[in-house]
């Protein structure tokens, strides 16, 4: 009797296990079927739009304006503001910098790091050069992304420039956001590698996303 009871219990346990396994199998098969039918169908417009929106979320919003406030390095007086604005032709660069030599030309570059911690500005590193090419004039085909040329100053030692650049970008791999802006003591000769022999650093600033509600005349 004991043996028969134990056999009965044993077989009941086996049956329960079998039912559980069958349930698990059917759920798995249903899941695979559903997944397969989802990936087979053509992408609807709604799917495409959802993907585009997802990409926008992953890449972040498109940046249309950036700015850098330039502060003098140790022992210097150069200071100013640079704005970078996206246009159809490229990025418009507007800069006003004072405290420079009079009637001079000062090297003006975007450097690799948005780091002005060193008193002499050297923490900004070398020129921003994501394509790994030679230094050149801003109008040259081959140049660093950061090669913005020189700032020409007036009799008061102030420079005002406004030009559109086709190498600088505010989005993508060549984005200058978070990089540094340096104004040099000397003139960029557009030839000496890799810096244009522009000398020491008079001012340093970090390029950040501009607040669209702020208008500075
Ligand atoms: Cu430089």
**Per-residue pLDDT reduced to its tens digit, 110-148:** 999 999 999 999 999 999 999 999 999 999 999 999 999
In the residue annotation, 184 being an active-site residue is answered as yes
Q: What percent of the chain has pLDDT over 70?
A: 72
Indicate the length of the chain as a whole number: 217
Give the mean model confidence (pLDDT) for residues 40-61. Answer: 63
Residue 33 has pLDDT above 50, yes or no: no
Q: What percent of the chain has pLDDT over 90?
A: 69
Residue 9 has pLDDT above 80, yes or no: no
Bigger pLDDT: 214 vs 46:
214
In the residue annotation, 10 being an active-site residue is answered as no
In this prediction, residue 32 carries a pLDDT of 39
Per the residue annotation, which of 106, 143, 144, 167 is the catalytic one? 144
Bigger pLDDT: 46 vs 182:
182
What pLDDT, in 10s, does the model give residues 59-68? 678 999 999 9
How remote is the CA of residue 45 from the centroid of ligand 1, in Å?
Answer: 48
Per the residue annotation, which of 105, 106, 147, 179 is the catalytic one? 147
In this prediction, residue 37 carries a pLDDT of 41
Yes or no: say if 181 and 110 are a contact pair by the CB < 8 Å rule.
Answer: yes
Average pLDDT of the chain to the nearest whole number = 84
How remote is the CA of residue 127 from the centroid of ligand 1, in Å?
Answer: 6
Ion ligand 1 neighbours (CB, 5 A) are: 109, 182
Nearest to 168 by CA among 88, 106, 90, 97: 90
**What residues pair up with 86 in beta bridges, in sequence order?**
91
**Lowest-pLDDT range, 36-50, 72-86, 176-190?**
36-50
In this prediction, residue 214 carries a pLDDT of 85
**Lowest-pLDDT range, 13-27, 89-103, 149-163?**
13-27
How remote is the CA of residue 73 from the centroid of ligand 1, in Å?
Answer: 13
Bigger pLDDT: 49 vs 3:
49
In the residue annotation, 167 being an active-site residue is answered as no
- Give the torsion through C-alpha atoms of 138, 182, 152, 74, to 10 deg: -160
Distance between the two ends of the chain, CA-based, in angstroms?
A: 101
In the residue annotation, 135 being an active-site residue is answered as yes
Alpha carbon distances (Å) from 68 to 30, 79, 83, 178, 187 = 57, 11, 6, 9, 21
How remote is the CA of residue 40 from the centroid of ligand 1, in Å?
Answer: 54
What pLDDT, in 10s, does the model give residues 192-201? 999 999 999 9
């Amino acid at each position: 009797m004991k043996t028969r009871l134990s056999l009965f219990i044993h077989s009941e346990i086996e049956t329960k296990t079998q039912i559980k396994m069958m349930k698990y199998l059917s759920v798995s098969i249903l899941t695979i079927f559903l997944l397969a039918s989802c990936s087979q169908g053509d992408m609807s417009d709604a799917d495409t739009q959802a993907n585009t929106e997802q990409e926008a979320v992953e890449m972040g919003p498109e940046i249309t304006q950036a700015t850098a406030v330039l502060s003098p390095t140790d022992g210097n007086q150069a200071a100013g503001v640079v704005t970078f604005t996206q246009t159809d032709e490229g990025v418009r660069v507007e800069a006003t910098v004072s405290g420079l030599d009079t009637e001079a030309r000062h090297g003006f570059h975007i450097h690799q790091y948005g780091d002005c911690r060193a008193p002499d500005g050297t923490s900004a590193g070398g020129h921003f050069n994501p394509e790994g090419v030679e230094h050149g004039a801003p109008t040259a085909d081959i140049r660093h992304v950061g090669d913005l040329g020189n700032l020409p100053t007036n009799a008061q030692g102030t420079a005002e420039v406004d030009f559109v650049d086709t190498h600088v970008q505010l989005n993508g791999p060549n984005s200058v956001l978070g990089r540094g802006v340096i104004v040099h003591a000397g003139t960029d000769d557009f030839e000496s590698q890799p810096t244009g022999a522009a000398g020491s650093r008079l001012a340093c600033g970090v390029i950040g996303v501009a607040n669209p509600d702020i208008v500075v005349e």
